[in-house]
Amino acid sequence: MKKFDKGYILSSLLSDLFGSLVIVFIFLKDFFLSDESNPEDIKAAIPFFVIGFAVVYLCFIVYRILYYKTSGYELTENEIKCNRGVLFRKRSVLDYKKVHAINKKQNLFHRIFGIAILTIDSGSTNTSHQAEITIIEKDKVADALLNELNLLKEGGRRNVESTQPKDELLLSDEDSLYSFTSGKKMLYTLINIASTAFFTALFAVLTIIVLGICKLMIRQGFLGTWGQYFLYAFLITVGAMLLFSMFSLIGCLIHSFVGYYKFKITKRGNDIQISYGLLEKHTNTFSYDRIKAVKITQGLVQRMLGFASIRLEVIGYTVKSGDDDKNAGLGVLVPFCKYNEIGEILGKVLPDYVPDKKQTKSVSYFSFISWFALILGIITGVVLLQATVPMLIFNVSSSVMVAVTLAIVGVGVIILVVKVLSAALSYQNNGLAISNGKITAYYGGFTKNVTVFMARNLIAAENVTTPLRHKAGITSLVMHLKTNALSNEVKVHIQNSSLSEELEKLLIL
């Protein structure tokens, strides 16, 4: 069995160096950051810091060496084997024919030492939280292994003659269908910020109104110190929202320009490969026939401006989480594009998943709001009762009681208005299209979602209704896909109940 590349030890110890410093500093931070600290105390704590760092880093060194000595992989005639672990040893064996997805990733430390990590996943829901096989090799060796494994999972046997390269369709070069350029990244960032700014603006308008009323009541002496506390609380909330918006801008910029650096889609035969990232480079490879669904998402601002993103539901599409990789569920296919370009993009990359036009729509608006309005009314009444009864018992002034009552009712009204808007959008969005073994589901309120999947991946369909809705022939449909347990439901609300029979026929077929 071949050992992992030694670069694993060096790259891991380089990252562990910073981790050790942080761990020791956390334990000894009181010596350095305490208000009572003085230069003599700090000087006396330095030897403890050095000793603590040496002990922690030595533990990391021992672990990395043991992991290297006990880990390795082997490619046999029909399967791949992998050993890894120190205290808990793990041995995995995976038949080439059962390989579902092969992903390659490199973080900054890996790239310094020229290594890469391959994770190979079977797509089993029993092990969907991690990949079965992990390989750590030199970058070029990992690329060769990735290509070889892609061929082996198609043929099932090792065959030197089968290593001839297939025709490759590159979809993200200058003359290609999709290119995530700097201009698109900036627009993508601005739209994400606009989404946050939109709700921040609504909050700001509400804040101005509340502050104005609060100041007026303080001047008139209606609220006393209660009004001052309320004013301070609102000012703190406004400051927190502005700070959140600033960090959102920075985070979106980093995510779009660093996270999606050199974003590229490659289609080779039956395999689709997506690569991206600057500090941590990912190369995710999976078979066309392993895709369970395509999900098109539009936030409220994106809908207003006519943009969308496309994601894939693919078991085995992994992200980093320690030595093993957890399943990410949804993988990005196109981070950002015009909504009217989706049919053209999917027609080139995934022709079977081009969404059909909505054939049905929601048949009742009131059903979207009825239960929510009833529950909100009950909750508002209970809160009012709990707030006013103690104030009556303790003889709180009438002006304070009126202010509290208005505040509770005002919050309830605002929540109801938001729900009414969301229900209106849901009423407009929800619908279904069934044709040629393909299901296209439209759903969502402020965020519009379109999920396209094959009928062969439908494993269950639920009919959720109430007695009154049943009499009116109205139901909500819950469709379960053959995919991981965290994201296997697609819900379409307030549809004609006859659609349930159509879905049952697809299950029988």
DSSP letter string, 314-331: -TT-EEEETBEEEE-SEE
pLDDT tier for residue 200 given thresholds of 50, 70 and 90: low
Please give the radius of gyration of the chain, using alpha carbons only, rounded to the nearest integer: 29
Q: Which residues contact 247 (CB under 8 A, 6 or more apart)?
A: none
The answer to whether 423 and 349 are in contact (CB under 8 A) is no
Q: How far is CA 247 from the centre of its chain?
A: 18
Mean pLDDT of the chain: 80
With contact defined as beta carbons under 8 Å apart, do 293 and 315 qualify? no
Length of the chain: 509
- Mean pLDDT of the region 45-74: 89
Average pLDDT over residues 459-471: 89
Over residues 380-417, the pLDDT tens digits come to 999 999 888 888 888 877 777 887 788 788 888 988 99
Mean pLDDT value across residues 93-97: 88
Alpha carbon distance 29, 319 (integer Å): 32
Close Cβ partners of 377 (under 8 Å, ≥ 6 residues apart)? 412
Of 171-185, 339-353, 470-484, minimum mean pLDDT range? 171-185
pLDDT tens digits for 302-346? Answer: 888 889 999 888 765 544 444 444 444 447 888 888 899 899 889
User: What's residue 225's pLDDT?
Assistant: 58
Task: Write down the pLDDT at residue 217.
Answer: 60
The average pLDDT across 276-299 equals: 85
| pLDDT at residue 258 in the model | 84
pLDDT of residue 209: 64
> Would you state the pLDDT for residue 325?
42
CATH topology of domain 355-362+430-508: PH-domain like (2.30.29)
Q: Where are the domains of the chain?
A: 2-70, 75-175+261-349, 182-259, 355-362+430-508, 366-427
Question: Two tokens at 74?
Answer: 């082997």
Does residue 173 sit in helix, strand or coil?
coil
Question: Residue 375's pLDDT is what?
Answer: 94
Q: What is the structure's pLDDT at 33?
A: 63
Q: Which range among 167-181, 326-340, 426-440 shows the weakest confidence by mean pLDDT? A: 167-181
**Lowest-confidence region among 4-8, 288-292, 375-379:** 288-292
CA-wise closest residue to 151 among 269, 267, 275: 269
Confidence at residue 175, expressed as pLDDT on a 0 to 100 scale? 39
pLDDT at 297 over 90: yes
User: Taking a C-beta distance cutoff of 8 angstroms, is the pair 482, 292 a contact?
Assistant: yes
**What confidence tens digit (pLDDT) does each residue in 107-149 have?**
888 888 999 999 888 766 544 446 778 899 998 899 888 888 8
Provide the pLDDT confidence category of residue 65 given band limits of 50, 70 and 90: very high
Helices (H) and strands (E) in the chain, counts: 12, 22
- Residue 57 CA to residue 288 CA, distance in Å, equals 44
Element housing 115 (H / E): strand 115-121
pLDDT of 509 higher than 90: no
- Give the single-character DSSP code of 220: T
Which two three-digit tokens encode residue 474?
Answer: 């109205």
CA dist 282 and 118 (Å) reads 10
pTM: 0.74
Q: What is the pLDDT of residue 322?
A: 43
Q: How many CA atoms lie within 13 A of 494 on its CB side?
A: 21
